[in-house]
A and B are shown apart, each in its own frame.
Chain A
Amino acid sequence: MEWMETTEMAAIEQVRAGDGEAFRLLVERYSRTIFRLTYRMTGNEQDAEDMVQETFLRAYRQIHSYDSRAGFGTWLFRIATNCSLDLLRKRGVRRESQEPAFEDDGPKMELPSTAPSPERLAISGQIRRRLRVALAQLSPAERAAFILRHFEGVPIDEISRALGHSNSAARQSVFRAAAKLRRALAPLEGTAK
């Protein structure tokens, strides 16, 4: 809404002018969205919390470089994605055989039925494992672009701004990721029905 953007821009200007308290409005408005993104990027609750904090600290330090032509949310997505990618890189590039850090009781591949039989539960477990591996095999750009598009519903042009890529590169990242997941999961999907 326009008035929300107005108060957001007013807050940004106040932060730029040295009013740290004005940053509160931005933190409170975007914390949950950024947590969702960092959790899906890192697959770990504690890492996600750390990345939320790091995202806002970086945003505060770099707020003078924020260009209001892009939405503030998009700009935060970019920072959060970079923070998460930095963390993942620090921990080493995952190999095909490795699974991402998703916690056992966390992400799940949801099956359409709400009354799982033992057979369905077994297939669900297989799909979950395949999904973990498939996500881990995506390149960082594909992973970030896919998460932004698939889970957050961010349009391609905003993803390109968030990742600092061209529009067509962002588009290719999303679509390649989707195609890879399809290839990885399709054999099981038929049996899950």
Chain B
Amino acid sequence: MKHLDDAQLAALYYGEAGTGEREHLAACESCRLAYQELTSVLDQVELPVPERGEDYGAEVWRRVSRKLPSPAPGRSFWGTLWMPRPWAVAAAVVVLVVAAFVAGRFWPWRQTQVAARPIPAQVRERILLVAVGDHLDRSQMVLLELVNSRPQDDQVDISEEQQRAQDLIGSNRLYRQTALRSGDPGVATVLDELERVLLEVAHSPSHLSTQEFEELRHRVEAQGILFKVRVIDSQLQKDERKKS
């Protein structure tokens, strides 16, 4: 019988060996002894590292940030929307229309400003951040109300949430496409997942049995979309505070 060599024994130790090696080890007394010896040695190989506190990352950042080269001029997701490139301008115009529409529903004075005179890029960017933030807030609200719905007579009426989800799909798609074109896959991915959830809600029957509702709620919760939306929303709020 061919015994296991050192490399095969080490592979077993690190859980990287194949079935053949494992079977051989189970059957071979001599290899088991060699494996035990290796295990007792490697189990003791320890190189403790000096402790670093919770704020170590921030400390490293302070040191590193002083030495970083100056950033390239603004090509962030939101900045890109206003860059003088044909697709960016087109996307920006479309988004601005939606943004003005959405913002206008809540802040009519802002809509007046949009229509009255050219708006500086920074202000437009801020309007957009507010509009997208508002879109995410409203999406969160719909999903929260949906998952917290209670059955009545063994049925759950989601017609109201459905209508609101349907209303959000169009603007969500627009923001997602813009994020994609602007090279911001993080935001685009979350908006893509949100869109799928909104579509599912919008296309479900308006009255669900308790079991159907539980299945829908489980699917929504399993995707963790509420949490992801909250993360992106808080990033946007931070951006917005910086711009204001």
Contact flag A112-B16 (CB < 8 Å), given A32-B57, A53-B60:
no
Question: For B186, what are the chain A residues with a Cβ–Cβ distance below 8 Å?
Answer: 6-7, 9-11, 13
Question: For B11, what are the chain A residues with a Cβ–Cβ distance below 8 Å?
Answer: 171, 175
| Contacting pair A108 B48 (CB below 8 A) | yes
Task: Give the residue name and chain of the A residue nearest to B184 (CB).
Answer: A13
Task: State the CA gap A57–B68 with chains docked (Å).
Answer: 7
Question: For A45, what are the chain B residues with a Cβ–Cβ distance below 8 Å?
Answer: 50
Answer whether residue B101 sits at the interface, using C-beta atoms and an 8 A cutoff. no
| Contacting pair B184 A6 (CB below 8 A) | no
Write out, one digit per residue, whether chain A residues 1-34 have a CB within 8 A of any chain B CB (1) or not (0): 0110011011101101111100110011111100
Q: How many residues of B contact A (CB 8 A)?
A: 57
Question: For B228, what are the chain A residues with a Cβ–Cβ distance below 8 Å?
Answer: 3, 6
Answer whether residue A106 sits at the interface, using C-beta atoms and an 8 A cutoff. yes
Of A74-82, A91-99, A114-122, A177-185, the stretch lying at the interface with chain B is A177-185
Among candidates A27, A60, A109, residue contacting B57 with C-beta atoms closer than 8 Å:
A27
| Contacting pair A17 B80 (CB below 8 A) | yes
Q: Is the interface of B mostly helix, strand, loop or mixed?
A: helix
Among candidates B14, B37, B79, B227, residue contacting A182 with C-beta atoms closer than 8 Å:
B37
Write out, one digit per residue, whether chain B residues 60-88 have a CB within 8 A of any chain A CB (1) or not (0): 11011101111111111101100000000
Interface footprint category on A: 35 or more
Answer whether residue A56 sits at the interface, using C-beta atoms and an 8 A cutoff. yes
Answer whether residue B90 sits at the interface, using C-beta atoms and an 8 A cutoff. no
Question: For B57, what are the chain A residues with a Cβ–Cβ distance below 8 Å?
Answer: 27-32
| Contacting pair B65 A40 (CB below 8 A) | no
Answer whether residue B216 sits at the interface, using C-beta atoms and an 8 A cutoff. no
| Contacting pair A171 B47 (CB below 8 A) | no
Contact flag A109-B44 (CB < 8 Å), given A3-B224, A6-B186:
yes
In the assembled complex, how far is the CB of residue A24 from the closest CB belonging to chain B, in whole angstroms? 5
Among candidates B56, B69, B71, residue contacting A32 with C-beta atoms closer than 8 Å:
B56
| Contacting pair B10 A179 (CB below 8 A) | yes
Answer whether residue B26 sits at the interface, using C-beta atoms and an 8 A cutoff. no
| Contacting pair A27 B50 (CB below 8 A) | no
| Contacting pair B50 A111 (CB below 8 A) | no
Answer whether residue A127 sits at the interface, using C-beta atoms and an 8 A cutoff. yes
Answer whether residue B183 sits at the interface, using C-beta atoms and an 8 A cutoff. yes
Answer whether residue B46 sits at the interface, using C-beta atoms and an 8 A cutoff. yes
In the assembled complex, how far is the CB of residue B82 from the closest CB belonging to chain A, in whole angstroms? 13
Task: State the CA gap A112–B44 with chains docked (Å).
Answer: 8
| Contacting pair A175 B45 (CB below 8 A) | no
In the assembled complex, how far is the CB of residue B42 from the closest CB belonging to chain A, in whole angstroms? 6
In the assembled complex, how far is the CB of residue B33 from the closest CB belonging to chain A, in whole angstroms? 12
28 contacts between A and B (CB under 8 A): A2-B224, A6-B189, A9-B186, A10-B187, A10-B232, A13-B185, A17-B76, A18-B75, A20-B70, A23-B65, A24-B61, A31-B61, A53-B64, A56-B64, A106-B47, A106-B50, A107-B46, A107-B49, A108-B47, A108-B48, A110-B48, A127-B44, A131-B45, A155-B16, A171-B7, A174-B14, A178-B38, A193-B40
- Residues of A bordering B, CB below 8 Å: 2-3, 6-7, 9-11, 13-14, 16-20, 23-24, 27-32, 35-36, 39-40, 45, 52-53, 56-57, 60-61, 102, 106-112, 127, 131, 149-151, 155-156, 171-172, 174-176, 178-179, 181-182, 185-186, 189, 192-193
- Residues of B bordering A, CB below 8 Å: 6-11, 13-14, 16, 37-38, 40-42, 44-50, 52, 56-61, 63-65, 67-77, 79-80, 183-187, 189-190, 224, 227-228, 231-232, 235
